[in-house]
Structure 1
Amino acid sequence: MPGCPILTYHSQLLFGNDYRNNSHVGLAADLEVIAASGRQIIGLRELVASLRGARDLPLDELVCITFDDGPDFDWLDIEHPEHGPQPSFATLLRRHAAAHPGQRPICATSFVIADAGARHEISTQAMGREWMNDHWWREAAASGLLQIDSHGLDHRHPCLAPGDADWGHFHAIADEVSCAQQVDAANSIIAERSGQPPRIFAYPYGQASEYLRSEYLPRHGQRLGLEAAVSIEPGHFHWDSDPWFLPRYVSLAHWHSPEELASLLRG
């Protein structure tokens, strides 16, 4: 069955300057693999809109690109204190588009964490810098290059509640109140800061309780303006995919080299 892979990257993975330890090096190489495969990059919102509508896209000719957590380096070039200058994911997309003018306009999705306090704690504790800000969201959303969508309120990151076993995973979001906090409240913040309401939700850790996936989002999604949610269960997007648990492949988890990505795209 023809399918469209949805690929996922984390721009904070910067531990060197090689494919396996630097997601910026990886994305640059993978963009060339995608071009060589003959697939073209399509925005995830456009893919989901077709799932909800005409279902007329050639899935076996397409690929989606998404970024999780929303560090500044999704959009901003940085000077890394250990590994030198790093072009942002947005810069890499622009360079690729300029080098391949015959392709459709590139659009990727950045799934951002809504709460500023949570971002501050996660960034400073995990990265040692204030590298998860929201001042670039509005510019990015207006650019057409990067769509800003929701990765929840606080990612249920364990640094926010040390020693609490309900943190460090997303399975505990399994009732009306906690779902409204993680989904509704996050949507409101992201819409206000980016200027556009989120259309897609990315489950933190790729995890969803049965209640969130099968009851809350199908029941409240239209009210919230949401059309789909994505997991990190590996697999190609098909027309019969569950819109509230779409599959995605994660860089350096589901493929580890340009050759493995080329095989994944063929599959």
Structure 2
Amino acid sequence: MYHAVTHTPTPSIRALSVPPETFADQMWLLAKRGFTPVTTARLAAAWRGGPPLPHRPVLITFDDGYQGVHHYALPVLREFGFAATVYVTTGWLRGRHEICGAALDTMLDWEEVRELAAAGAEIGGHTHSHPQMDQLPDSELEYEVQRCREIIAERLGSPPESFAYPYGYSSRRVRQAVRTAGFAQSVAVGNALADPRQGPFALRRVTVRRGTRPEELARLAEGRAVGRTFATDRALTKGYTLVRRSRWLIRKGAGADV
């Protein structure tokens, strides 16, 4: 799970950004180790009984839709013939549907999104305004998912199949809303390798940070040291999940629009 690929990230996304040269080194090492990147849709289709996955499959995803994915990541992906999935927050992208002042850095415009799609990248949904979905009333939750899907379909000519939860936050209610909207699969975070037992609407990913070295990324892709690397993250996530569930129940009990 990547976010921004850039030399000069804003402070708000610095920790989740990767310098272009580091990204190139990481992709080179994945190619050297014999990995074959696939899209999220290809992965889910294989696990539903479709065409089998290639040798050593790996999922390369980008959340939010930062411009560096086009400027810096795309040439590298083309060089190695790598597939990827780009999850776009439609209200953050530059253009007619943009929510002014909402984006955290310079985002893709729709021409760049189309170029990514033409190069073989899967374009997935990531809501319209990047909210914490598990805290939204039902009406807002439905809007965020449907509006995002409608805009992507309008701009690219076909609706997206895959979805990513902002911040990785989801719940049974959120996952059902994504399914009802017409998405076929979705990804969370979890900082663990994806596994068919997780179900198509809760596939896990491993976070790539600014300090993730190419050798470390290759080890994580191979499933080595994942638990040790993200032990603290997992503990915090479990605790915060309980807090978020409690907040939702309190709102629901108070008669909020759910």
Task: Kindly provide the CA deviation profile for residues 222-261 of structure 1, in whole angstroms up to 9, marking residues without a partner as x.
Answer: xx2x1111111111122222211110111118x7212211
Q: Which residue of 148, 163, 177 corresponds with 1:216? A: 177
State whether structure 2 residue 155 is matched by structure 1 residue 193. yes
User: Number of aligned pairs?
Assistant: 213
Classify the secondary structure of the residue corresponding to 1:251.
Answer: coil
Q: Which residue of 3, 10, 23 corresponds with 2:3? A: 10
TM-score, normalised to structure 2's length? 0.74
Which residue matches 2:86? Answer: 110
Tell me the CA shift for residue 207 of structure 1: 0.8
Tell me the CA shift for residue 20 of structure 1: 9.1
Which structure carries more helix by proportion?
A: 2
State whether structure 2 residue 35 is matched by structure 1 residue 51. no
Q: Which ranges of structure 1 fall in alignment gaps of 5 or more residues?
A: 1-7, 78-87, 98-105, 157-168
Which residue matches 2:135? Answer: 172
Is the Cα contact below 8 Å between 2:18 and 2:209 reproduced in 1? no
State whether structure 2 residue 78 is matched by structure 1 residue 94. yes
Classify the secondary structure of the residue corresponding to 1:154.
Answer: coil
Classify the secondary structure of the residue corresponding to 1:45.
Answer: helix
Distance in 1 (CA, whole Å) between partners of 2:113 and 2:220 is 31
Tell me the CA shift for residue 190 of structure 1: 0.9
Distance in 2 (CA, whole Å) between partners of 1:196 and 1:38 is 32
Tell me the CA shift for residue 149 of structure 1: 1.0
User: Percent same amino acid at aligned positions?
Assistant: 28
Is the Cα contact below 8 Å between 2:39 and 2:84 reproduced in 1? yes
Task: Kindly provide the CA deviation profile for residues 104-154 of structure 1, in whole angstroms up to 9, marking residues without a partner as x.
Answer: xx2111111112332x4234xx33x5x44223222322332x121111111
Which residue matches 2:167? Answer: 205
CA RMSD in angstroms comes to 2.5
State whether structure 2 residue 228 is matched by structure 1 residue 228. no
Is the Cα contact below 8 Å between 2:195 and 2:203 reproduced in 1? no
State whether structure 2 residue 129 is matched by structure 1 residue 154. yes
Task: Kindly provide the CA deviation profile for residues 2-43 of structure 1, in whole angstroms up to 9, marking residues without a partner as x.
Answer: xxxxxx111255338xx9963422221111221222221112
Tell me the CA shift for residue 72 of structure 1: 2.2
Q: Which residue of 195, 202, 220 corresponds with 1:264? A: 220
Classify the secondary structure of the residue corresponding to 2:190.
Answer: coil
Which residue matches 2:244? Answer: none
Is the Cα contact below 8 Å between 1:235 and 1:247 reproduced in 2? yes
Displacement over 4 Å in runs of 4+: none
Is the Cα contact below 8 Å between 1:171 and 1:208 reproduced in 2? yes
Is the Cα contact below 8 Å between 2:2 and 2:16 reproduced in 1? no
Q: Which ranges of structure 2 fall in alignment gaps of 5 or more residues?
A: 10-14, 92-96, 224-258
Classify the secondary structure of the residue corresponding to 1:63.
Answer: strand
Distance in 2 (CA, whole Å) between partners of 1:184 and 1:56 is 31
Distance in 2 (CA, whole Å) between partners of 1:20 and 1:149 is 19
Distance in 1 (CA, whole Å) between partners of 2:84 and 2:213 is 21
